[in-house]
Amino acid sequence: MSVYDPAPAASLLSEAWRSGKPLGTLPDRVRPRSMSEAYDVQDRLISNLGHNVAGWKLGLGSKNAKRRNGIFSPVFGRVLEPGLYSAGETVHIPGAMTVAIEFEIAFILGRDIFPDGSGELAKNLVSSSLVAFEFVVSRFGDHDRLDTVSITADNGMAYAVVLGEAIDLTSISVSDLARSLTIRVNGEDMAPGLVGDDLVDPFAALDELLLHARERHIMLQKGALIMTGSLSAPVRFKPGSFTYEVLARYLRSEMRCTVSGSL
């Protein structure tokens, strides 16, 4: 088998990121043939874009998502600094792209974690936990037709993150939080929280990221943001020009943001 060159695929994905126009698919001649090659494309894509990396995201991390996609580990991607927002702000999306919004728990790492690993419990590595929205955008277009190799090459479909209030996971059950969760769009209930094997365990997700970092020889830096996976069913918006007010209600709290798309 010939040695795979990730540069051509990364170049096509870079152009789709910058133009805001869906790529459709990668030509067979440049498409990665394995998850390892897909991560090589992702590495080159991040280098091409030239943005600072604020942290990491996990996708397809629940037991059922892994089972449906025939994988044993989540898909990992980078969170880029231009995609960071605070609760209440407006996230601008290229109108030609399909966007999905998910409610998640975000961790902040309390120290550097080197690739050789410490064997320490994941919960001891976290300095704080926050509620967050993740905005998922595929540079290929239709989310439902994508395989895990394409999702991985496309940086796990990462686009933007909205960070909300701090939350104490020592006194709050993630499953209770998810059961209480409702996402509303322009005042209409759109998505509930997930339950059972559809729900991600945030600390187990962090453990899986630590393993990925060791395998790829990556240092995870103190202060890095870790998006641990969705606690809600995704809310999807079709391409077009739009403005939506998004509200998540959970336990006795709520979090808001606005999403705007333009063609």
pLDDT for residue 141: 83
- Per DSSP bridges, beta strands 126-137 and 225-230 are unpaired
Strands 158-166 and 182-185: unpaired
pLDDT of residue 120: 72
pLDDT at residue 119 is higher than 70:
no
- pLDDT of 107 > 90? The answer is yes
Q: What is the pLDDT of residue 122?
A: 81
The pTM for the full model equals: 0.94
**Can you say whether the dihedral through the CA atoms of 140, 7, 83, 63 is positive or negative?**
positive
- Give the C-alpha separation, 85 to 61, whole Å: 23
Mean pLDDT computed over 77-103: 95
pLDDT tens across 173-211, in order? 999 999 999 999 999 999 999 999 999 999 999 999 999
What are 9-52's pLDDT values in tens digits?
A: 999 999 999 999 999 889 999 999 999 999 999 999 999 999 99
> Running DSSP on this structure, what letter comes out for residue 201?
-
User: Can you name the residues that pair with 136 across neighbouring β-strands?
Assistant: 100, 158
Question: What's the pLDDT band for 1 if we cut at 50, 70, 90?
Answer: low
Q: Is pLDDT above 70 for 2?
A: yes
pLDDT score recorded for residue 118: 60
Residue 124: pLDDT band (50, 70, 90) is confident
DSSP state letters, 156-186? GGEEEEEEEEE--TTTS-HHHHHHH-EEEET
- Rounded distance, CA 215 to CA 206, Å? 14
Domains parsed from the chain with CATH numbers: 53-262 (3.90.850.10)
Do strands 158-166 and 126-137 pair parallel, antiparallel, or not at all (unpaired)? antiparallel
Q: Average pLDDT of the chain?
A: 94
- Residue ranges of the alpha helices (H) in 106-224? 148-153, 174-180, 202-216
User: What was the pLDDT predicted at 166?
Assistant: 97
Q: CA angle 187-96-11, nearest 5°? A: 135
Q: How many CB atoms lie within 10 A of CB 214?
A: 15
How much is the pLDDT for 195? 96
